[in-house]
RNA sequence: UCCCCGGUAGCUCAAUGGUAGAGCAUUCGGCUGUUAACCGAAGGGUUGCAGGUUCGAGUCCUGCCCGGGGAGCCA
């Protein structure tokens, strides 16, 4: 009897007797033959039970199964073209661990449901094949990120989640009381802290949840989302664009290599992912605005690009497009000005194809102490809270930079799904914090 | 915060201002290769909440609550 059987690896167990630890996904009956469908977390597998081949007790236990009852099914794995997945379990014995009572049946049917109902039952919805495929894909994205940075000599230095002040805007912070020390805030970005660790370790990144109290109500926003933020000492804007391009390529190609079955479950057109390879097109903001004006946009020079602009730009290309050197006035206080055009910031955004919008935002950071101090004052930021950040410009300041990549947006794009809320186990949104 | 759409059975949805219905789910019966199986039957309702118009309101009006999509902002 094998104990390490999983449905995903059923082919390796052909002809062997196995124990399947799982749940009932569905039960199809046809007279004296039963087709229970089991799921075990790795996939769904059909079993077959003939009345003449099993005891009366086993037959009864299977016919009495209710959806999502937990169980141990024992039998032989057989290749069977008529079974979904190509293999089925010839059931010999069934042990019921917990039977879902019929007066409180499992609420999620294998039929259509609305988003409100599904999100309110998110703790159960994640059991469905599509949702578990998305969570496996998310896992793969995260794993690839860590692999990539490890292979490129980066050190993981996580930033704090509780912070004393804003990283960027001050209006979009979740605030809480911190003992006798006054207010603390949930982090919006780990960037300022990885700037410090980059000066200590050279090439670093942080990976963790970030929080935005923005009242955004769109398919691209969550109030709590995960971001990976590399930061590199001595890096120029060109280095950052190259790093972002290599990272995104690595993530996409590994997803294709390792998560084909999941992408198939999601009915993703993988041809659109195959050609995600460097180099990605690069446009200056000036060039981007020209293209947009030619395509009918009315965004004036100097303003940040809107969602419709991003879609217009990305539909020009079959891979992500990098837009660099935005007007400084539209960007954050900590960005290094372009020495040739001080009205521009040495920054870059990467826009995913197919209208998925910005997946990366980054920049070279202000390295000069006096200019940084001036920018802090212009933005009415509390100087005291940024004392340590200013110190980084007092003790061996170097050109450096980094970017943030949004895990959920990246996963949604690779999965080809319309809303990012399905790419995180328990999404946090403007009007939803349960379950 | 603003704009648009919606709320009817556990779920997805019907119902000209005139007797609240179907499919799925649940229960019972039938069927030896089913593929969201199929066939037959049964149970299941304070039509989001409060008020108003009307002989009569799921339907029309007002307010509120809840959700969805989008804008702005962002990853």
Is A58 in the same domain as A153? no
Number of domains present in the structure of chain A: 2
> Can you say how many angstroms the Cα of residue A311 is from the centroid of all Cα atoms in its chain?
20
Contact A344, A337 (CB under 8 A): yes
CATH number of domain containing A35: 2.40.50.140
- pLDDT, residue A170, reads 56
Which structural domain, as residue segments, surrounds residue A77?
7-98
Q: Is residue A410 part of a domain?
A: yes
Q: Which of residues 35-74 of A touch strand B (CB under 7 A)?
A: 35, 37, 46, 48, 50-52, 66-67
What is the nearest nucleotide to A419, using C1' and CA? Answer: B69
Enclosing H/E stretch for A248? helix A237-258
| Listed residues A65, A81, A98: the one ending a domain | A98
A360 CB and strand B closer than 7 A: yes
Q: Hey, CA dihedral for A131, A135, A140, A142, is it positive or negative?
A: positive
Residues A266-295: b if buried by 16+ CB within 10 A, e if exposed = bebeeebbeebeeebebbbbeebbeebeee
Contact A91, A71 (CB under 8 A): no
Is A60 in the same domain as A128? no
What is the nearest nucleotide to A172, using C1' and CA? Answer: B73
Is A315 in the same domain as A386? yes
Contact A208, A229 (CB under 8 A): no
Q: Hey, CA dihedral for A75, A76, A77, A78, is it positive or negative?
A: negative
Each residue's pLDDT expressed in tens, for chain A with a length of 435 residues: 446 899 999 999 999 999 999 999 999 998 899 999 999 999 999 999 999 999 999 999 999 999 999 999 999 999 999 999 899 999 999 999 999 988 888 998 877 788 889 999 999 999 999 999 999 999 999 999 999 999 999 999 999 999 887 555 556 888 888 898 888 899 999 999 999 999 999 999 999 999 998 888 888 999 999 999 999 999 999 999 999 999 999 999 999 999 999 999 999 999 999 999 999 999 999 999 999 999 888 888 988 898 889 988 998 899 999 999 999 988 888 999 999 999 999 999 999 998 888 999 999 999 999 999 999 888 888 888 889 999 999 999 999 999 999 999 999 999 999 899 999 999 999 888 888
Residue A336's contacts (CB-CB under 8 Å, 6 or more residues apart) are A345, A346, A363, A364, A365, A366, A367, A399, A401
What is the nearest nucleotide to A33, using C1' and CA? Answer: B32
Is A206 in the same domain as A288? yes
Q: Is residue A108 part of a domain?
A: no
Q: Is residue A169 part of a domain?
A: yes
| Listed residues A83, A98, A113: the one ending a domain | A98
Q: The complex's ipTM?
A: 0.89
Q: Is residue A386 part of a domain?
A: yes
Is A204 in the same domain as A68? no
Is A174 in the same domain as A309? yes
Distance CA A44, CA A106 (A): 17
Q: Is residue A117 part of a domain?
A: no
The 3-state DSSP class for residue A375 equals helix
Q: How far is the CA of A424 from the C1' of B2 (A)?
A: 28
Protein residue minimizing CA–C1' distance to B35? A84
Is A152 in the same domain as A20? no
Q: Is residue A176 part of a domain?
A: yes
């Amino acid at each position: 009897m094998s104990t390490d059987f999983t449905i995903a690896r059923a082919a390796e167990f052909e002809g062997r007797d196995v124990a399947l630890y799982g749940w009932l996904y569905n039960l199809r009956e046809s007279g004296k033959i039963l087709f229970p469908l089991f799921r075990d977390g790795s996939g769904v597998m059909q079993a077959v039970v003939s009345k003449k081949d099993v005891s009366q007790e086993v037959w009864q236990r299977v016919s009495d199964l209710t959806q999502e009852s937990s169980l141990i099914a024992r039998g032989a794995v057989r290749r069977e073209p008529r079974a979904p997945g190509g293999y089925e379990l010839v059931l010999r014995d069934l042990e019921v661990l917990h039977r879902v009572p019929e007066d409180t049946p499992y609420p999620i049917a294998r039929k259509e449901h609305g988003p409100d109902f599904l999100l309110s039952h998110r703790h159960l919805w994640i059991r469905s094949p599509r949702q578990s495929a998305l969570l496996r894909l998310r896992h793969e994205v995260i794993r690839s990120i860590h692999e990539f940075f490890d292979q490129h000599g980066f050190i993981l230095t996580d930033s704090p989640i509780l912070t004393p002040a804003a990283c960027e805007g001050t209006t979009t912070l979740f605030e809480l009381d911190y003992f006798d020390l006054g207010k603390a805030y949930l982090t919006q970005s780990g960037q300022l802290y990885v700037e410090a660790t980059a000066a200590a370790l050279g090439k670093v990144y942080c990976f963790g949840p970030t929080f935005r109290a923005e009242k955004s109500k769109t398919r691209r926003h969550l109030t709590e989302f995960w971001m990976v933020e590399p930061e590199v000492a001595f890096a120029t804007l060109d280095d950052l664009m190259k790093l972002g391009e290599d990272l995104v390529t690595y993530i996409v190609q590994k997803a294709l290599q390792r998560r084909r079955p999941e992408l198939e479950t999601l009915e993703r057109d993988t041809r659109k992912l195959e050609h995600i390879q460097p180099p990605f097109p690069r446009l200056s903001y000036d060039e981007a605005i020209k293209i947009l004006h030619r395509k009918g946009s009315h965004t004036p020079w100097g303003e940040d690009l809107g969602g419709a602009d991003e879609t217009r730009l990305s539909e020009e290309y079959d891979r992500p497009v990098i837009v660099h050197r935005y007007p400084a006035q539209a960007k954050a206080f900590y960005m290094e000005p372009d020495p040739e055009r001080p009205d521009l910031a040495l920054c870059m955004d990467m826009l995913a194809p197919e209208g998925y919008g910005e997946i990366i935002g980054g920049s070279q950071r202000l390295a000069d102490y006096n200019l940084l101090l001036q920018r802090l004052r212009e933005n009415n930021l509390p100087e005291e809270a940024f004392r340590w950040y200013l110190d980084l410009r007092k003790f061996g300041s170097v050109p450096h930079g980094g970017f943030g990549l949004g895990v959920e947006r990246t996963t949604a794009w690779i999965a080809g799904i319309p809303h990012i809320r399905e790419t995180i186990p328990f999404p946090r949104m403007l009007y939803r914090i349960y379950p």
